[in-house]
């Protein structure tokens, strides 16, 4: 049985991607592989708005989120926290033996650039992590304002997670001065899980060279040395590379601006449906993210029952709240390949499934 996924990752993977991933295997040190890698590189740089290299890691996003800290955190990291993923990053930093401090904001609130300035001014940190789009709460922080503050501190390396915002709206890495910008395959790009995609500044690589305990698998210098040969340090998930290449071709065919506009429109369609039903967003609307909506369960719906009906009757799945927000919120993704038609079908299914609860 297959279900259409409207959870905020993984998402339903299109036939064209599945077909591309079924291509015959090639050696990862072969000319064919180098051609595949070098074909994707300029396309990826365009999507990252960067002239820096874009590396590909066979891991989920967390691999690079952890790896980045092991590469650039010498003195201490400031973890900006406003949801499940950003909170976890502080725990991960400590588990890596790093000096880490939490800059905590309420779930559903964005990262406050003024608080970031105050914390960095203590001089305790040489790197900072933040999540552009907190998927657990559907909150989008103002990345331009945050980066403007971080740029006031030239010794601080910035690590930004764009897992659920990448390609839903422009994130201009070089213009904003982001050192490490990362995303994962299974959310905004609607590929299967297992690939992390990240672009790294020369500044960050210079810092990495100063650290002797950065390990091997996520060593930025290893990534870079192999990158210059059109390769990855170890054997990557080549099938996913084919999938990514197909995705990049499709993004170019649609056009980046059209892609952003489609996400804006579909996001608003779902949002307007929810508001009309009496569900408010968890974040305030100006900080609501583009790739999903996180609604508060303002009408006290039985979310478990709702999810069951959606799955059994309509063969689709939404999310009933992440971590401590389970039962209190529900999240609906419009990332990846959604269209006006698929979102309209979803909305009709939601109406039908809420109706049996009198909502
Ligand atoms: C899903 C998610 C992650 C973690 O991704 P994995 O692929 O499970 O490692 C990290 N950050 C954000 C914002 C996410 O949405």
The answer as to CATH 3.40.50.12140 being correct for domain 4-10+255-355 is: no
Mean pLDDT, the chain cut into blocks of 10 residues (359 residues total): 94 98 98 98 98 98 98 98 98 98 98 98 98 98 98 98 98 98 98 98 98 97 98 98 98 98 98 98 98 98 97 98 94 98 98 97
pTM score above 0.75? yes
In ligand 1, the atom with minimum distance to the C-alpha of 83 is 13
* Residue-level length of the chain: 359
CA distances (Å), origin 216, targets 198, 204, 317: 17, 16, 38
Ligand 1 mean position, distance from CA 129 (Å): 14
| 161 CA distance to ligand 1 middle (Å) | 8
Is any atom of ligand 1 closer than 6 Å to the C-beta of 62? Answer: yes
Query: Which CATH fold would you assign to the domain 15-252?
Result: 3.40.640
The per-residue pLDDT for 73 is 98
Distance in angstroms (rounded) separating the CA atoms of residues 32 and 174 = 30
Which amino acid residue places its CA nearest to atom 14 of ligand 1?
Answer: 163
Ligand 1 atom closest to the Cα of residue 131 is: 13
* Structure tokens, 285: 């609307």
Q: CA distances (Å), 232 to each of 26, 39, 122, 198, 299, in order?
A: 14, 14, 38, 13, 50
Q: Which atom of ligand 1 is nearest to the CA of 132?
A: 13
Ligand 1 near 90 CB (within 6 A): no
Residue pLDDT, tens place only, 16-29: 999 999 999 999 99
Cβ of 160 less than 6 Å from ligand 1: no
Residue 71: name the closest of 179, 148, 165 by CA.
179
Per residue in 69-107, pLDDT (tens digit) is 999 999 999 999 999 999 999 999 999 999 999 999 999
Please identify, by atom number, the ligand 1 atom nearest to the C-alpha of residue 133: 13
Q: Strand 316-317 to strand 329-333: parallel, antiparallel, or no bridges (unpaired)?
A: unpaired
Every domain of the chain and the residues it spans: 4-10+255-355, 15-252
Would the CB of 87 count as within 6 Å of ligand 1?
Answer: no
**Tens digits of residue pLDDT in 124-175:** 999 999 999 999 999 999 999 999 999 999 999 999 999 999 999 999 999 9
Cα(241)–Cα(268) distance, rounded to whole angstroms? Answer: 32
């Amino acid at each position: 049985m297959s279900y259409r996924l409207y959870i905020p990752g993984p998402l339903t993977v299109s036939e064209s991607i599945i077909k591309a991933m079924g291509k015959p295997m090639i050696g990862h040190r072969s000319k064919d592989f180098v051609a595949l890698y070098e074909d994707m590189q300029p396309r990826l740089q365009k999507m990252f708005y960067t002239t820096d290299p874009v590396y590909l890691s066979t891991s989920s996003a967390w691999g690079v989120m952890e790896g980045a800290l092991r590469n650039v955190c010498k003195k201490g990291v400031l973890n900006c926290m406003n949801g499940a993923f950003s909170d976890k990053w502080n725990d991960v930093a400590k588990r890596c033996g790093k000096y880490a401090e939490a800059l905590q904001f309420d779930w559903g609130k964005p990262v406050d650039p003024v608080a970031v300035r105050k914390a960095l001014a203590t001089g305790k940190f040489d790197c900072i992590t933040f999540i552009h789009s907190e998927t657990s709460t559907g909150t989008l922080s103002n990345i331009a304002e945050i980066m403007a503050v971080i740029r006031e501190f030239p010794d601080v390396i910035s690590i930004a997670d764009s897992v659920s915002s990448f390609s839903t709206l422009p994130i201009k890495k070089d213009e904003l001065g982001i050192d490490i910008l990362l995303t994962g395959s299974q959310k905004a790009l609607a590929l299967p899980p297992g690939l992390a995609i990240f672009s790294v500044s020369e500044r960050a690589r210079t810092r990495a060279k100063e650290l002797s305990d950065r390990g091997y698998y996520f060593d930025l210098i290893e990534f870079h040395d192999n990158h210059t040969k059109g390769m990855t340090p170890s054997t990557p998930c080549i099938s996913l590379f084919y999938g990514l290449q197909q995705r990049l071709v499709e993004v170019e065919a649609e056009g980046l601006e059209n892609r952003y506009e489609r996400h804006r429109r579909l996001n608003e369609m779902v949002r307007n449906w929810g508001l009309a039903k009496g569900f408010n967003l968890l974040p305030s609307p100006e900080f609501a993210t583009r790739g999903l909506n996180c609604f508060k369960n303002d009408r006290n719906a039985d979310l478990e029952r709702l999810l069951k009906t959606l799955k059994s009757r309509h063969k689709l799945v939404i999310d009933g709240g992440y971590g401590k927000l389970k039962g209190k919120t529900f999240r609906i993704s419009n990332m990846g390949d959604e269209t006006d038609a698929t979102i309209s079908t979803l909305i009709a299914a939601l109406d039908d499934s809420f109706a049996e609860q009198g909502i």
